[in-house]
Amino acid sequence: MKTVQSALDHADETFPPRGGLPALIFIHGGTYKTEFLVVDTDVALIGAAPGNVAESVILERSTESTLMFVEGAKNCLCRSSHT
């Protein structure tokens, strides 16, 4: 996928709820600046990069929210993990 939002859209369209198990989306190292992410399905967003993931996978926006959870996103997880 070229964008985080396209991965979220793909998960929403492709993976029906699996007994409470969310779709997994791994976000590779980089700075994602322009996206306004709307999460409306159960997903697990996992930052994946060598070293300090919190400094390697960055979601930021200068206006409005960066990440918004709406109806349908009842069992979501967002975290960074070291690889």
pLDDT in tens, 18-72: 666 788 889 899 888 877 888 888 888 888 889 888 889 888 887 777 777 777 6
- DSSP character string of 15-79: ---BTTBPEEEEEESEEE-S--EEE-S-EEEEEEESS-HHHHEEE--SSS-SEEE-TT-SS-EEE
Average pLDDT over residues 4-24: 79
Please give the residue range of the domain that contains residue 60: 4-82
Q: What is the pLDDT of residue 83?
A: 44
Q: Is the pLDDT of residue 76 over 70?
A: no
Higher-scoring residue by pLDDT: 16, 31: 31
What is the number of structural domains in the chain?
A: 1
